[in-house]
Structure 1
Amino acid sequence: MILASPPLEGVLLGAGAALAYAVPALAWRALGERRARWALVVAWALHAAALGWALLGGHGGARFGFAQALSVTAWLVVTVYVVESQVLPQLRARWALAGFGSAAVLLALFFPGQKLPPTQSPLLPLHWALGIASYGLFAAATAHGWLMLRSERLLRQRAQNASGVPLLTLERLMFRLITAGFIVLSATLLAGGIFGETLYGSQHTGWRWDHKRVFTLLSWVTFAVLLLGRWRLGWRGRRAVHVLYAGAALLLLAYVGSRFVLEVLLERTA
């Protein structure tokens, strides 16, 4: 099993980010809206520093794995929330996002991933960035879908709206994120299929039908069906969110799932 033994600086950054996330996650009611929002911004900044330390060689070389993918995804989701909260200050989801961020940072401390091999292609970091960006966008869309279903359930019980935002607004934001994620995921698949040899070397010529690509393609088809169903059949509400959950699960299995099996269950580094 690949357990972490990062330098003290990396431990302090990661622990600091996890603790900072825990503050709004556990004490958001006591802090109040304004201070809880600022606490989340501080945690977000520390999380960015911890990611930079790990991904830019703070461990004696750049590392990446399933835990880092989840950590970057969590950071991107919090980024979307921070931006949206400036436009929709009534949006209430910081306790759940802060809990997700704290767990992701701690997981990355225990599983630092493998050292990335040197590459001669300047396009490879861009390819990785596109893939992780699609993870973040679909994760943010999934968070909006969860908020939408939770708010709908509470409204049926005549309780307060859980998100603080009208359901139609949440649904519109969710589909905007799905559309953006689908575009980025499509670009990632095209880049991998067309420039595979340039990105990964001559041993990766053409399209390889491994687990990662199969699950990625299945998720792409699922999201395409969701967007087509929205456009042609007017899908919305629970049906749309459930299809989103299925596509997000398939995308999670594509990289995070396959890397988890290799790094933790099979204890392999490649």
Structure 2
Amino acid sequence: MILAFSDGWGLAAAAGAATAYAVLALATPRLGEGALRGLLLAAWGLHAATLVEALLGTPPRFGFAPALSMTVWLVLTVYAVERRLFPQLQAHWALAGLGSAAVILAMIFPGTSYHVIASPWLPLHWALGIASYGLFAAAVVHGWLMVRAERSIRQAGQNHAGVPLLTLERLTFRFVEAGFVLLSATLLVGWLFAETLYGPGLGWKWDHKIIFSLLAWATFAGLLMGRARLGWRGLKAVRVLYLGAALLLLSYAGSRFVLEVILRRA
């Protein structure tokens, strides 16, 4: 189970990414802007290499830990882009810590090996699902920054997020809206083409993954409707966002964790 890399460079890239993230998380206050940018870029690139090695290795692997690792990588990608638009955005240490933990978790639990894939469209279905994970995770990060900023303002303190509160709120809901579209597409494709993607006899099943996914979808739909019709904002909206994200996390990552780690079944 542990450190199951098909090539030595995959293990080296994973170790390098985890180390670079850890240094970034611990030393952010003492590093200049150039050093921060370079270290983040190095960690991001090594992290991407570990994902490529897992998905394109011989055989390819996927599971709850690689899914979480890819989600964190997508969040870091969004953060890197946003830093170009909002240089004052401050979340280096928290995201770097998540990145290091995600890479190490994927090293310990590399997932299931897929020697045969029923359909060449299955990786695209996975990509849609993971992209929705990433967008909702980005929304959670921005929601957390929004709550911190709002609390600081109420206490007459400094906004440590570095971005205006209304901007954080707008970004949070843009990520929720985009994630909701991708989650809807993922569920619709899984419902209509399950046997094509996974093979004969493996159609839509009312298992834990589907139930939690639909509950998450309903929660996010309620959040967007509540914002549009009832004007939900601030902590109330963020709490609903957290609930939806927790349900979505339990859907794929949670069910795969039970199968791979607790039940030890592929």
Q: Place the TM-score, normalised by the shorter chain, in its bin.
A: over 0.9
Q: Are residues 1:262 and 2:259 paired?
A: yes
Task: State the partner residue of 1:211.
Answer: 208
Hey, what's the Cα distance between the residues in 1 that align with 2:112 and 2:118? 19
Q: Are residues 1:14 and 2:14 paired?
A: yes
Hey, what's the Cα distance between the residues in 2 that align with 1:251 and 1:3? 26
Amino acid in structure 1 at the alignment position of 2:182:
V
Task: State the partner residue of 1:156.
Answer: 154
Task: State the partner residue of 2:131.
Answer: 133
1:186-265 → structure 2 map (5 Å cutoff): 186-205=184-203, 207-265=204-262
Hey, what's the Cα distance between the residues in 2 that align with 1:70 and 1:242? 21
In the TM superposition, residue 26 of structure 1 has moved relative to its aligned partner by: 0.7
Contact 2:3-2:11 within 8 A present in 1 as well: no
Hey, what's the Cα distance between the residues in 1 that align with 2:29 and 2:128? 36
Task: State the partner residue of 2:120.
Answer: 122
1:45-194 → structure 2 map (5 Å cutoff): 45-57=45-57, 60-194=58-192
Higher mean displacement: 27-36 or 168-177: 27-36
Amino acid in structure 2 at the alignment position of 1:37:
R
Q: What's the CA shift string for 1:217-253, capped at 9, x where partnerless? A: 0000000000000100110100100000000000000
Higher mean displacement: 179-188 or 194-203: 194-203
Task: State the partner residue of 1:42.
Answer: 42
In the TM superposition, residue 91 of structure 1 has moved relative to its aligned partner by: 0.5
- Secondary structure of the corresponding residue to residue 256 of structure 1: helix
Amino acid in structure 2 at the alignment position of 1:47:
H
Hey, what's the Cα distance between the residues in 1 that align with 2:88 and 2:67? 29
Hey, what's the Cα distance between the residues in 1 that align with 2:226 and 2:10? 45
Contact 2:10-2:49 within 8 A present in 1 as well: no
Q: Are residues 1:25 and 2:22 paired?
A: no
Q: How many residues align?
A: 265
Amino acid in structure 2 at the alignment position of 1:175:
F
Hey, what's the Cα distance between the residues in 2 that align with 1:136 and 1:187? 15
Q: What's the CA shift string for 1:148-172, capped at 9, x where partnerless? A: 1111112222222111000100000
Hey, what's the Cα distance between the residues in 2 that align with 1:45 and 1:242? 33
5+ residue gaps in structure 2? none
Hey, what's the Cα distance between the residues in 2 that align with 1:65 and 1:138? 19
Hey, what's the Cα distance between the residues in 2 that align with 1:31 and 1:245? 32
Where does structure 1 differ by over 6 angstroms across 4 or more consecutive aligned residues?
Answer: none
Hey, what's the Cα distance between the residues in 2 that align with 1:53 and 1:198? 26
Higher mean displacement: 242-251 or 116-125: 116-125
Higher mean displacement: 149-158 or 130-139: 149-158
Q: What's the CA shift string for 1:128-157, capped at 9, x where partnerless? A: 100000000000000000011111112222
In the TM superposition, residue 117 of structure 1 has moved relative to its aligned partner by: 4.1
In the TM superposition, residue 4 of structure 1 has moved relative to its aligned partner by: 2.9
- Secondary structure of the corresponding residue to residue 201 of structure 2: helix
Hey, what's the Cα distance between the residues in 1 that align with 2:156 and 2:26? 26
Amino acid in structure 1 at the alignment position of 2:154:
R
Amino acid in structure 2 at the alignment position of 1:86:
R
Hey, what's the Cα distance between the residues in 2 that align with 1:178 and 1:124? 24
In the TM superposition, residue 120 of structure 1 has moved relative to its aligned partner by: 4.1
